[in-house]
Amino acid sequence: MKPSPHIKALVLCGGKGTRLRPVTNTRPKHLLPIANRPILFYVLDYIALAGITEVGIVISPGAGDEIRKAVGDGSRWGMTVDYITQLEAKGLAQAVSCARGFLGESSFLLFLGDNLIQGGVAGFVAEFASHRPDALIMLKEVADPRAFGVAQLDGRGRVTKLVEKPKQSLSNLALIGAYIFSPLIHQAIEGLEPSWRGELEITDAIQRLVITGGRVSSHILQGWWVDTGKKEDLLWANRVALDEFLCARMAGSVGGTSVCNKVDIGHNAHIQNSQLQGPVCIAEDCTIRNSVVGPYVSIGAGTCIEDSQLEDSVVMEGCHIHGVGPISSSIISRNCRVTGDGPQAPACLFMGDDTELSLTS
């Protein structure tokens, strides 16, 4: 029996998050909070639970310092973290090339730093260690595969063909941001030509492995998966995280308030004369008065909400919300101020940092 392979992890955090502007004008998308934790932290949880202790994080020059500050040396996850700067985002295969020095001759998990997968990747990593293919790719059935890399499989679940964003679909099986490779992938990447998108595609590198006789296996995900690249996806991820990961806690003070379903109230938070309809996550030092909050709301530290109604929303740190509602399906970034003169028509907001907005009935 072959010994289990040594597996590292490479997490890609180099994207600019253009589809989430203006929220990402001042913060990397990988650090946007869902259930009051950065998306990237859930990814690192997955990797730690899979038993991987050596992690490289690919960062861009502009966002790298914030990610370094948030993650640090990785010790809180029991791992060591190396940071690899990708000067210009030119595709997943190019990111792997940038990390060649870190990866060495190890097999590695490649994971997109803004994706969440139900159940994590521990089973995925164990499957690779057991069967030792040249590559193992995670796939998910999707309704419209034209926006993804798409795989065609044989009867044994081996990959016979891969195409990036095909005009005519090969199947409904999309690649969803988690891969494990043996060191053979580096040979497949060498000499790749940019695709029509101007990028070095990891799908093209995997297809090279297939053509040259490499054994590329598939793992079909049965649970949910979310790519948090758009506003709607970030809100969905917040709902999923509140459902899956929220632990009920009452670390603050609650008076004259009805609480329904699971609620997490942080230290020094004060809730008065309100209704909390969980799941709801309220960070430390928040104040909520005379308001209806939830379901599916996360509220960042130091936020004050008065005489308002919110549901299905992400409110980040240091916000002040007064006299507005109902607000739903909204993302309100740091230090925003939203005021109104009482109940208004339902509002759906998407606000970058330090924005002020007045709503009238």
Range of the domain at 143: 7-230
Q: What is the pLDDT of residues 213-236, one digit of tens each?
A: 889 998 989 988 888 888 999 999
Q: Is residue 237 part of a domain?
A: no
Same domain for 162 and 36, yes or no, is yes
Q: Is residue 241 part of a domain?
A: no
Give the domain-ending residue among 202, 230, 258: 230
Mean pLDDT, residues 27-32 taken together: 88
> Out of 182-196, 232-246, 314-328, which region has the weakest mean confidence (pLDDT)?
182-196
Spatial separation of the C-alpha atoms in residues 326 and 345, rounded to whole Å:
7
Same domain for 220 and 257, yes or no, is no
Mean pLDDT, residues 330-347 taken together: 88
pLDDT at 303 over 70: yes
Q: Is residue 264 part of a domain?
A: yes
Give the domain-ending residue among 170, 203, 230: 230
Same domain for 223 and 258, yes or no, is no
Domain tally, the chain = 2
Q: What is the CATH number of the domain that holds 214?
A: 3.90.550.10
Same domain for 195 and 265, yes or no, is no
Q: Is residue 236 part of a domain?
A: no
Q: What is the mean pLDDT of the chain?
A: 89
* pLDDT band at residue 17 under the 50/70/90 scheme: low
pLDDT at 249: 93
Q: pTM of the predicted model, to two decimals?
A: 0.91
Q: What is the pLDDT of residues 73-124, one digit of tens each?
A: 999 999 999 999 887 777 888 899 899 999 999 999 999 988 899 989 999 9
Q: What is the pLDDT of residues 164-188, one digit of tens each?
A: 777 777 788 888 889 999 999 999 9
pLDDT at 53 over 70: yes
pLDDT at 1: 36
